Amino acid sequence: MKHRIQVSDEVALNVDDFGSGQPLVFLHGWPANNTMFEYQADFVVENGYRYIGIDHRGFGLSDRAADGYDYDTIADDIQKVVDELNLKDIIVVGFSVGGALALKYGVKHNSSNLKKMVLLGPAGPSFVQRDGYPYGLKPEDVTALIEQINDDQPKAIGDFGEDSFFNSDIEVSDEYKQYFNAMTLTSSLIGTVKLAESLRDEDLREEIKSLDLPVYGIHGTADHVCPIEFSEYLEKEAPDYTLSKVEGAGHALFFEKKDEVNRLLLEALKK
Catalytic residue ranges:
96, 223, 251
Edge-to-edge order in the sheet of strand 215-220: 2-6, 12-19, 49-54, 22-27, 90-95, 114-120, 215-220, 241-246
184 and 157 Cβ atoms separated by less than 8 Å? yes
R_g of the chain, CA atoms, integer Å: 17
Using alpha carbons only, what angle is made at residue 156 by residues 155 and 161, rounded to the nearest 5 degrees?
Answer: 95
Q: Report the alpha-carbon distance of residue 234 to residue 242 in Å, rounded.
A: 9
Q: Report the alpha-carbon distance of residue 130 to residue 233 in Å, rounded.
A: 13
Distance from chain centroid for Cα 259: 19
Q: Report the alpha-carbon distance of residue 249 to residue 22 in Å, rounded.
A: 29
Q: Is 96 exposed, middle or buried (0-12, 13-18, 19+ CB in 10 A)?
A: buried
Q: Report the alpha-carbon distance of residue 251 to residue 228 in Å, rounded.
A: 10
